[in-house]
Amino acid sequence: MGKVLTLIVQRLGLGLITLIAVSLIIFLGVELLPGDIATEILGKDAQPATVEAFRKELGLDKPPVTRYIQWVGATLSGDFGNSFANGRPISDLIGFRLQNTLFLALMTAAISVPLSLIAGVLAALYRNSFYDRAINIFTLTSISFPEFFIAYILIIVFGQQLGWFPTLSNVSAEMPFSQKLYLCALPALTMTLAVFAHMMRMTRAAILNLLASPYIEMANLKGLERSRIVTKHALPNAWAPIANVVALNMAYLVVSVVVVEVVFVFPGLGQLMVDSVIVRDVPVVQACSMIFAATYILMNLTADIISIVTNPRLLHPR
Amino acid sequence: MMITKPKKADAANDDSILLKVRGLRIDGMSEEVWNPIVKGVDFDLKRGEILGLIGESGAGKSTIGLAAMGYARPGCRLSGGEILFDGIEMRTASEKQKRAMRGVRIAYVAQSAAASFNPAHRLIEQYQEAPVQHGVLSVEEAQSDAVDLFGRLQLPDADTIGFRYPHQVSGGQLQRAMTAMAMACKPDLIVFDEPTTALDVTTQIEVLAAIKDVVRQFNTAAIYITHDLAVVAQMADRIIVLRYGEVVEEADTRTMLSKPTEAYTKSLWAVRSLHKEEEPGEDTLLEIRNVDASYGGGVKVLHDVSIKVPTKRTVAVVGESGSGKSTTARVITGLLPPMTGEVLFKGEVLPPALKSRGKDDLRKLQMIYQMPDTAINPRQRVRDIIGRPVQFYLGLTGKKREERVRELLSMIDMEPDTFIDRYPGELSGGQKQRICIARALAAEPQLIICDEVTSALDQLVAEEVLRLLLRLQDEFNLSYLFITHDLATVKAIADEIVVMLQGSVVEQGMKTEMLTPPHHEYTDLLLSSVPEMDPDWLEDLLVKRAAAANAKARA
């Protein structure tokens, strides 16, 4: 077990380094933009003295290194600072929206991960059958359309024609859980269609790839059922690639849902970030970027750790 | 059901035919067309009999063995003939019928146990899978059987070894565990597909003895597939020689060994006749002095290794896998700089690391590898494969380079006009290895390190390659450092022999001296483990070893 722990600690360390690198890039990227929030808010004709005073108030007059350290320190303690645009604490702005985004992402994951894994295993099991072809065509079609297009189709079919689900997903904090689920049905379905194909096809490919192994031939020659061969012999060795693609898609669910959020008027983090970019509300953009980056890093770390702990050679050393 | 008693008590006297194959035809798909691989093969197998199938690669041995289970690999099909197993037609049986037979009445032992055990499950889980899934035994029964069988197959810690994962046991143990797995349902027939080819000679003996023993105990019939005549001589009651998917000759083992009738069989038997007289070396070309080496500063893999290679001589380095043979080659070539010790070429110290060596140092030392398939770039024509070192080391370009490439091709007996524009994919295994030899020669080296250069080749082809190497040695005063685990090759071409064990040199000396007793204990084990063509060799050897062990215990 010692080796597994070392590997996991190493991965965590690497994740931390990546996070620091990302924070530097985010900070420097904003730093390199011409002008700053002071000139943006006060306009071109403002008195230099006023601009200077405003900068001082916002702390923009300090050297970049100091500001970076302050920013990181504050971020670590959960204090993202105040929005430049409206002066409210960023944690208030983000908190509710982050909850919403995570709620939607988790709901989508709860639908899409089991569904795509099962569909993928079945496709591998009944390779080249009608089911296999049908599911392949279906998933290919669904990822070939842009998400907003799928969203509108779902709105027309399930929202207007059938009237099963609401077309607006304007959730609020005090709503009961079931109400939230109901409101989020269509966006979750849209996103499920967006990530289903990757995960399902990867599961299928990872398993089919292993079906050429000598130990699969051996299992065949032991007279085992095909379903047992796929689930007992191929799947346990396919976790690493599957975990990777699932992790990437989970990160995608948190990070890249802005289009879906806009369509369904969903109060999520993506929309907040887009709004903040438009008004150059730098601290909010930085905070959102950090959250997104951390999500990606965390998801990839999880995938790495899953690959490590599902590898019998590492888990049971000689 | 306990297994201490064989399933059929009267089976030993039962001479009835278990497997009857008639006019078996198997096709393989290549370039979108079905081509015949096996062209009408007939044979019978009696209960409890061991049938040896031998032939070179591509003869259809494994394909026939698998066909006996009604199985064709992807890209193959059983296109005609009859496969009657105990009256059941396996070729046309439904998948369900075949599944019910496989693992229960017919079992399979594959060439590479390491690849054929699922890395994700413990040995015992894989052992009990067939009997439990087919409803033959309960989990408890299967597990207690397993312990018994592991014991019979002389696996260490029979009680607990089953709870290990495949990567936690050695290759030889894994091969025996796979034999145990095949025996799990006490099948009537086991197909052994080159079960010892991937093993060292010393390990091979244990596996062969264990297989033979357990198959006799349960009166199991077996099809034993191999390309190694000496091995099949130990195992089989009867031998079928195959070539190009057809039966060349069939006879009981003793007759086949003493009086083969067909020319092809005789040529197979004659391969082991290559022999070169040894000559003592005069001056030393390459010397390794007191080398210690390790990978990444971890465990030492070479301990104080010293070897001398004389000019125009062949020094064979022998030993089991993991003995440090290839690591020694890496130290010599500079791929792995040693921790201590030095490499001298013509009395001068070579820089330890590859990148600090000059072009001329590199030129004088060339290598030929085990797998010609992976050692040459499949996207380059022969012209470029050989032309590249000609240009790099000798600076020849254009017409001169072309001329030199043609010259080199003639030296390795390959017609330049035919071969110069071919890609490696258009060459046979032996031809590819010749190209590798020509590429090494192109640098005009003084020493060539040959790392298992014939192990991937069939015996006839291997012999041609060896003859070529000997001729080139004569013509160009080459020295060879010949790394191999195949002692027959060593006997054929070496002048001197170095025996390595666990990273150290155990013994070294002239060939005849090394091959005549008294040996170092390990050399003795290694030499006596090489199978001989005598069908009684294995049993005699085991008796001798047991006696020696007893004597030692008493003393």
Q: Where are the domains of chain A?
A: 99-279
At residue B509, the 3 state secondary structure works out as strand
A217/B contact by beta carbon, under 8 A? yes
Nearest CA in chain B to A314: B167
Judge whether B554 and B218 are in contact, CB under 8 Å.
Answer: no
The verdict on B73 touching A (C-beta cutoff 8 Å) is yes
Q: What is the DSSP string of chain A?
A: -HHHHHHHHHHHHHHHHHHHHHHHHHHHHHHHSSS-HHHHHH-TTS-HHHHHHHHHHHTTTS-HHHHHHHHHHHHHTT---B-TTT--BHHHHHHHHHHHHHHHHHHHHHHHHHHHHHHHHHHHHTTTSHHHHHHHHHHHHHHHS-HHHHHHHHIIIIIIIS--S-S-----TTS-HHHHHHHTHHHHHHHHHHHHHHHHHHHHHHHHHHTTSHHHHHHHHTT--HHHIIIIIIGGGTHHHHHHHHHHHHHHHHHS-HHHHHHHT---HHHHHHHHHHTT-HHHHHHHHHHHHHHHHHHHHHHHHHHHHT-HHHHS--
CA closest to B97 among chain A residues: A223
- Can you give the pLDDT at residue B283? 86
- The least confident of A86-90, B61-65, B251-255 is A86-90
Sheet holding B300-310, edge to edge: B300-310, B284-294, B340-345, B348-349
For the segment A85-105, the average pLDDT, to the nearest whole number, is 82
Q: Do the chains contact at A221 and B165, CB–CB below 8 Å?
A: no
Domains of chain B, residue spans: 11-273, 284-516
Q: Is the pLDDT of residue A251 over 60?
A: yes
Q: Which residue in chain B has the smallest CA separation from A311?
A: B120
Q: Which CATH class is domain B11-273?
A: alpha beta
Position B3 confidence tier, pLDDT thresholds 50, 70, 90: very low
> Cα distance from B414 to chain A (closest Cα, Å)?
36
User: Comparing C-alpha atoms, which of A184, A239, A180 is closest to residue A209?
Assistant: A239
Q: Does A3 touch chain B (CB under 8 A)?
A: no
State the pLDDT at residue A92.
Answer: 80
The H or E element that residue B304 is part of is strand B300-310
Cross-chain residue pair A233–B116, CB shorter than 8 Å? no
Q: Tell me the per-residue pLDDT of B486-538, one tens digit each, with 9 for 90 and over.
A: 888 888 888 999 999 888 998 888 888 888 877 788 888 888 888 888 888 88
Identity of the residue in A212, A223, A312 whose CB atom sits nearest the CB atom of B130 = A223
Task: Report pLDDT for A178.
Answer: 83
Residue numbers in A near B99 (CB within 8 A): 223-225
Report residue B7's pLDDT band, with 50, 70 and 90 as the boundaries. very low
A313 touches chain B (CB under 8 A): yes
CB contact under 8 A, A224 and B130: yes
CB contact, 8 Å: B321 with chain A?
no
Whole-number Å distance between alpha carbons of A63 and A55: 12
Looking at the partner chain, which of A214, A236, A312 has a beta carbon nearest the beta carbon of B110? Answer: A214
**How large is the C-alpha radius of gyration of chain B?**
26
Nearest to A214 among B102, B112, B164 (CB): B112
Q: Given CA atoms B361, B363, B368, B371 in this order, what sign does their dihedral have?
A: positive
Q: Shortest CA distance to A39 belongs to which of A47, A31, A28, A27?
A: A47
pLDDT band at B10 (very low <50, low <70, confident <90, very high): very low
Q: How far is A117 from chain B (nearest CA, A)?
A: 19
Asked whether residue A278 carries a pLDDT value surpassing 50, the answer given is: yes
pLDDT at A36 (0 to 100): 65
Compute the nearest-CA separation of A114 from chain B (Å). Answer: 22
Q: Which of A218, A313, A318 shows the shortest C-beta gap to B116?
A: A218
Looking at residue B366, its pLDDT comes to 93
- pLDDT higher than 70, residue B5: no
| Pick from B189-193, B233-237, B406-410, B425-429: least confident | B425-429
What does the pLDDT look like over A151-167, one tens digit per residue?
888 888 888 888 888 87
**pLDDT tens-place string over residues A157-201:** 888 888 888 877 777 777 788 888 888 888 888 888 888 888 999
Q: Which residue has the higher pLDDT, A2 or A23?
A: A23
Residues of A in contact with B71 (CB under 8 A): 220-221
CB A223 to CB B120 under 8 A?
no
Burial of B141 per CB tally in 10 Å (0-12, 13-18, 19+)? middle
The answer to whether the bond into B518 is cis (omega within 30° of 0) is yes
Residues of B in contact with A232 (CB under 8 A): 121
**Residue A233 Cα, gap to closest chain B Cα (Å):** 7
Two tokens at B209? 């003895």
The closest CB to that of A223, out of B118, B134, B181, belongs to: B134
- A33 CB within 8 Å of a chain B CB: no
Contacts of A223 in chain B (CB under 8 A): 98-104, 130, 133-134
pLDDT given for residue B12 in this prediction: 44
The pLDDT score that the predictor gives to residue B448 is 94
pLDDT of residue A41: 67
pLDDT at A99 over 70: yes
For residues A142 and A1, the model is more confident at A142
Query: Nearest CA to CA, how far is A206 from chain B (Å)?
Result: 15
pLDDT band, very low/low/confident/very high, at B1 (cuts 50, 70, 90): very low
Q: ipTM score here?
A: 0.77
A55-67 as b/e: b if 16+ CB within 10 A: beebebeeeeeee
Instruction: Please write the tens of the pLDDT for every residue from B328-341.
Output: 998 999 888 888 89
CATH class of B284-516: alpha beta
Token representation of residue B320: 């089991």
- Which of A223, A232, A236 comes nearest B103 by C-beta? A223
Are A101 and A267 in contact, with CB atoms under 8 Å apart? no
Between chains, do B107 and A220 touch, taking CB under 8 Å as contact? no
Q: In this structure, what token pair is assigned to residue B221?
A: 């019939």
Q: Which of B66, B100, B112 sits opposite A223 (nearest CB)?
A: B100
One-letter identity of residue A250? M
Whole-number Å distance between alpha carbons of A61 and A56: 6
pLDDT for position B486: 81
pLDDT attached to residue B2:
44
Q: In chain B, whose CA is at the least distance from the CA of A233?
A: B118
The H or E element that residue B180 is part of is helix B171-183
Contact across the interface for B133 and A313, Cβ inside 8 Å: no
pLDDT at B438 over 50: yes
Beta bridge partners of A82: A89
pLDDT at A59 over 80: no
The C-alpha of B104 sits at a distance from chain A's nearest C-alpha, in angstroms, of 8
The pLDDT tens digits of the residues spanning B113-122 come to 888 999 989 9
Please give the residue of chain A at the shortest CA–CA distance from B130. Answer: A222
Contacts with A222 from chain B: Cβ below 8 Å:
102-103, 107-108, 129-130, 133, 181
Say how many CA atoms lie within 13 Å of B249 toward its Cβ.
Answer: 17
Question: Average model confidence (pLDDT) for chain B?
Answer: 86
Q: How many CB pairs under 8 A join A and B?
A: 78
Contact A205/B at CB under 8 A: no
Segment B277-315, tens digit of pLDDT: 888 878 889 999 999 988 876 778 889 999 999 999 999
Residue of A nearest to B99 (CA): A223
- Name all contacts of B320-323 with Cβ < 8 Å and 24+ positions apart: B320/B200, B320/B201, B320/B202, B320/B203, B320/B485, B320/B501, B320/B526, B321/B171, B321/B200, B321/B485, B322/B502, B323/B500, B323/B501, B323/B502, B323/B503
> How far from each other are the two terminal CA atoms of chain B, in whole angstroms?
43
Pick among B71, B109, B118, B137 to test the A interface (most A CBs inside 10 A): B118
Percent of chain B with pLDDT over 90: 27
Does the beta-carbon distance from A220 to B112 stay under 8 Å?
no
CATH of A99-279, one of 3.40.50, 3.90.1570, 1.10.3720, 1.20.950: 1.10.3720
Find which of A220, A221, A307 to mutate to test the B interface (most B CBs within 10 Å of its CB): A221
Residue B11 has pLDDT above 60, yes or no: no
Q: Which of A212, A224, A312 sits opposite B120 (nearest CB)?
A: A312
Which residues between 232 and 261 in chain A have a beta carbon less than 8 angstroms from any beta carbon of chain B? 232-233, 236-237
Q: What is the pLDDT of residue A315?
A: 79
Q: What is the DSSP letter of B348?
A: E
Angle at A166 between CA A164 and CA A169, to 5 degrees: 145
**Contact residues, chain B, for A318 at CB < 8 Å:** 167-168
